[in-house]
Amino acid sequence: MSIETFISAPSFTQLCDKVNEIIGELSGIVRLDSAPFVSALIEKINECAAAVQVEPLSASPARTQLLDKVNELAEAVSAVTPAGWIFYQAFIQNSTFVAPADGNYRVWCIGKCADGVNDALRITTSVWGGAGGGTGGMSCSELYFNAGDEVAITVTDKISSFGSYMTCTAGEVGLSETPGEVGTASGGNVYNLDGIVGGDGVYYYQTDGPSYPGSDGLNGGMKGGEPGWSKPGLRRSGGGGGGGSRLHDVCPYVSPPYTDLYQAGCGGDGRTSTVGADGTPYPDLVLSADIQLFGGGGGSGGHSGSPMPISLLTRGGQGTTGTPGVIIIERSA
């Protein structure tokens, strides 16, 4: 990002605002309080100067010198701030990142997205559809590394972390029709976004007619599963599974909204004894610049029928799994 210089002599408040804009482009420097004393402002300017290798101010400069120094900092920060980012590497298991060269890097840390509640194969399960999966936490940091610097990477079903810089937890699988807890995020100097809750499965059923579809996943996520129909006096209708929610789309690798492309498990049909359609799985991750992230998995569809006798049951469609945890590293363009 390019930081523009001042055109004319600013007020003291504007000067402070400009320094804070510069600070916003640098990591590890705390913002100024509003209207600091001149000495505090000089100290903060010199802290910024040291970060971008600009000569510090001498003691007690005049306002024109302050302005010149802030404009010098603006130019220096613009020179070291990347204009864009290029995919470099992605990890879905424990590993070590080794910086290939001195420079700026942007790192995305994403916790595993929850699987949908998948009760489709448990023939004693009730007729409601399972809940959709919520998303894992998402953090992002812009960092500077020297060639050969190493950072430990952890990616499991429970946690994703990039050394001590960022940690994100996975979304939790729900219970029956109720979605589980979303993942959390911490440590990022650009983003720290907790996950998005998954869609509800359907608890309700009908003894005469169709049940209800599952809720769609949030943020343009997976479509809820379609319901089954009942056979009056014999089989109740199975509800649809809840759709998995889509990850926050501040990350450029997250798929566009996909409600029309992926669907949770559908309810079993009591009229025809037809098994509900299985949920549509997401494609496997491709660990390249073409990587595409989705979100939580879809819940399974509910059964049609009563728990006993088992021979009268028609099961719902199976649920699907959520997007794995991942660490994505980019280099400055």
Per domain, the residue ranges of the chain are 12-80, 84-333
- Helices 63-80, 38-51: axis angle to 10 degrees equals 30
CB 42 within 8 A of CB 61: yes
**What does the pLDDT read at residue 5?**
67
What pLDDT does 20 receive?
A: 75
DSSP-derived letter for residue 151 is E
At residue 6, the pLDDT reads 63
Per the omega criterion (within 30 degrees of 0), is the bond before 309 cis?
A: yes
Q: Give the helix/strand (H/E) hosting 141.
A: strand 138-145
Report the predicted TM-score, pTM, of the whole model to 2 decimal places: 0.73
Q: Supply the pLDDT for residue 85.
A: 93
Residue 142's beta-bridge partner residues? Answer: 106
Check residue 190 and give left, alpha or beta (phi > 0: left; psi -120 to 50: alpha): alpha
Low-confidence ranges of the chain (pLDDT < 50): 1, 123-125, 308
